[in-house]
Structure 1
Amino acid sequence: MQPSNHKGAIEKIYSTVNTAQSWPEVLNHIKHDLNSTCGFMAIRTKADIQPHSFYDIGFDSHYFERYQQHFFEVDLWTQGLFNNRLNYFHANHYICDENQFTHSEIYHDFAKPAQIRFGIGALLCDKNSDLITQIGIMRPKEFERYDDQEIQHANALLPHIQHSISLLHLIEKQQQQILNLESVLYASEHPILICKGKDTVIFHNDLFEQLIFHTKELSIKKNKLLLTNQGLKNALRIRISECLHSIEYNQTLSAPFYSYIGSELYKITVKPWLYREMTSCGIIEHPSVIMNFKPSASKLRLDIAIIQSHFGLTPAESQVCELLTQGMQPDKIAHTRGSHVATVRQQLKSCLAKTQTSTQTELVCLMLRLFLTR
């Protein structure tokens, strides 16, 4: 049979990077292309241990499961592959003595029941990886031995197979690193959020989930971070922009800032982060940020006298500022002080002018800098 073009097979091979279960389709293409009846692929980290990934085509269901434990101990074919050129297909009649093979246990107990007589096999080993991959393509005695043209045709696929397996192995390692990292972040005592770009959420821990559950100021919709607190939104936007434009991704470029989220005061830190994604072209790094929301441990009430003298405020204005830093809204401040909301709003307007701030959030942050250790 004249071997066909490999284009379809190569496309299938690289599709396994995203879908490992496509390997039987690859084996089926090679089997059909080489006029064969069955094949298998076993990926292991050592020659004498069971594969951690195994795929076969053309065998009865569970056929290998009945033989695997004993298969690799008595398989003359596999042993012969280790003594010949690696990363290359060899015919069984080339690497094994024919008479010895037909009288071997592997032939009578495994090959003959599956009507296998001829085969080609390859061991793929990469010096940069600890993986050993064995591929076998086989057919019965009614067919001829595999000739040099067929073997050469099959060998043309091996670099692609080896490359895709290496990529898949890198992805597995990368995913494990991500899982290990996420386990550390999940164990954090504070809410943590990681965004790719300016607002695309790629990770948040359970504490952040609890935080957004108890407030309307923060939310995540369709993997986008949404903020209704304009002061918090502006503060985060500035720091995120600085981080995304930074080169040193292990430094904090902006000082932490304080903001009320709901009724709780949080110290918020924004740091540069690199989100790594594995693709068929290798690892792609996306500039990202990690945000830590640490509840303020300080329960210190601001000293009204210090506020008054430092900013030149009236006693009433100083008290309004002090209540504002406790998370009170103007209506609650008015109720606490026994005054009208309009009066409180006018006092806050005066405080903004005297402190040269433009929002209540900026005013609170300014006040807290006097008392909170950063």
Structure 2
Amino acid sequence: MEDRLAILTTLAYGAALDDEKWDAFLQACSDLVGGGVRTCLFGYDADARIELGARQFGYDPAYQLSYAAYYSQKDFLAARLMEEGPGRVVPYGEVWNDFGLRNTEFYDDWVRPQEDIIGGCSVLLFKQEKRLFAFSGSIRSRDSDQLERPWQRIVTYLTPHLRQAFEVARALAGAELEKKAMVNVQNPARTGCLVVSRDRRIVFANRQAENMLDSGELVRSDFRQRLLFADPTWDQRLGQILASRILTTPQTLRLLNDLPTPFICRIAPLGSDDLGTRSSGMLFGREEPCFLLTISQEHDVPDIGERLRNRFGLTPHEAQVVLHISSGLLAKEISEIRGTSVHTVRNQIHNAMSKMEVRRQSEIVRIVAAMRNPLLQ
């Protein structure tokens, strides 16, 4: 048995690196007790009572679809887990007895038709406000006497390893997101990266973003881990952008907020597919709208615009456009910030590139980077 448990832990850590391998882990867990347990890893929102994505083995696919579409709102088992601390194994018998669920629609229409799967247990692996990620196994009532205790021992053994594997998956998913977010960023080491849901819940924040949240000068979080801008005007604008049902392209905010240097906040729609193979690392559903935010200083050296004007003969507007380009902004985003047309911005970019004797915008980025840091010249 110990050798087979060791194999399960190896599978769990492997799945932390590749989300697709959770299926093999779940099947191996069931096989360890002769296939008599239906296993599942799932996320759940206790406020909205919706599933946030699940991987399962042994369940009827039609019932899984009906759960996601309807019965998740009737599931007191998942809601009960929110009352527990992470790591405690909760036998289903406790929940059925506490809530009298045998008299509910959830039992009559979903549990009993699946061969009365009232046995088994769940364990909360991670909790964030009203959202959870859990591991569970369901046992048919006729198999409970034989399988209940061995299955609980297996879950108890696996729990610390699963919690660690889940944290690894979260860290890797965050790193993958951060890498995507920093593609067009001039100074990644000083750029905050966040993922937020439509209701502003912070799903992920890199170290720079955490520092910004801690300082509270630009952004902060409330007691429910919702993102707020310190400036009420920009906070209202953020709410409008997140509430938009047709946001398909990045939006840009220029944050002044009485700080010495303006900040740029880029907001882009984010899908679960953007997470690659590690979507279990984030607590949001595959159909749930989420947004990727990057926050960075507009430029790092106060006199950089003046130096650009003196060196290349740029106009003030052309120098400003060059700084925006060096921050990774597109012409459309620059036009929104400055309140001018895209045509005007493109003309200014063309004129600046001509004066700087460059043919690609990437060369502008390189020149500005070298002016900020002489070691790059």
**More relative contact order, 1 or 2 (CA 8 Å, 6+ apart):** 2
Indicate whether the TM-score tops 0.5: no
With the length of structure 2 as denominator, give the TM-score of the two structures: 0.45
With the length of structure 1 as denominator, give the TM-score of the two structures: 0.45
